[in-house]
Structure 1
Amino acid sequence: MISANASDSFDRILQHAVRSRLVMDAADHCSVARVSTETMATDADIVTFTISGLAFRLLLLLHLPARAQTREYFVRDAASVTPLEGFLEIGNLCCGAISHALSAHFPDLGMSTPYVLGAHCLSHVDALGPEMLATYAVVINDGVQVGVTLAVCADGPLDFQADIPAETESCGELELF
């Protein structure tokens, strides 16, 4: 029910959001590659977001492994924020960027409050019956590793073409709301 154009658009929107929002500094290098689910860390906290509209439900699962280097990367102020809280904030920005890009094609979208699950829950995503299911490995500065799973459940045929380039680098643009 999800066309090739829509699947490609979801993929490009996600990759753009990850590259522009999961990095803590615009100078950080970020690579995103599709991988199999079996390659994901089993000791991760899974930060879960949903974006819902009339035509689909999108589930964004950000995998935060227990590795200290990865967790510490997402903390700006260690005195007041835990690594998980820092990751929740950054993940919320990433999900917001996806929602913003999708709102050009689907005007009535809602975004959930994030919640945290254990990595064992990933094996149950198939039970939702997603028409699109993709997992990505994200590496920031050759050491920080995060997993991302994208699941999209469509309520009917879904076709759109997003105007996001396949490969973009963030240059620290200022976004006005």
Structure 2
Amino acid sequence: TNHSTHEEFEQFYMLTISSQEFRVLTLIHLNHDDQSRAYVAQKLNATSESLGDERFYDFIGELGNTLCGSIKRGINAFIPSLGMSTPNRLE
């Protein structure tokens, strides 16, 4: 079966790195399912049962911030004055 990405995931986070010259969009696709909750719980040394929705989404947002921050540091060596957005969760 031919599936597009938007059919496989329920939600995504969008983050941007931008300057006056360009914009980089970063998308983190995810499902709020048992497998994702177990992964986040493991990283936070918690149990899936004790992991609330807010903590789950905060972790995913921080993961995006860490990824974009690393990309921004690499690009900043060539292009100064970069801005980075806060993570936006979209369905």
Given that 1:72 and 1:83 are in contact with CA atoms closer than 8 Å, whether structure 2 keeps it comes out as no
Aligned residues: 82
**Partner residue, 2:77:** 104
2:26 corresponds to 1:60: yes
1:89 CA drift (Å): 1.1
Amino acid at match of 1:54: Q
| TM-score calculated relative to the size of structure 1 | 0.41
Match of 2:63 among 85, 90, 112: 90
| TM-score calculated relative to the size of structure 2 | 0.74
Amino acid at match of 1:60: T
**Partner residue, 1:50:** 16
1:108 CA drift (Å): 1.2
The structure in which a higher percent of residues are helix is 2
Structure 2 unaligned blocks of 5 or more: none
Sequence identity of aligned pairs in percent? 34
Given that 2:9 and 2:29 are in contact with CA atoms closer than 8 Å, whether structure 1 keeps it comes out as no
2: CA distance between counterparts of 1:56 and 1:83? 31
**Partner residue, 1:72:** 38
Q: Over the residues paired in the alignment, what is the CA RMSD in angstroms?
A: 2.2
Structure 1 unaligned blocks of 5 or more: 1-36, 119-177
The structure in which a higher percent of residues are strand is 1
Change (3 A) 1:66 1:99: same
1:41 CA drift (Å): 4.5
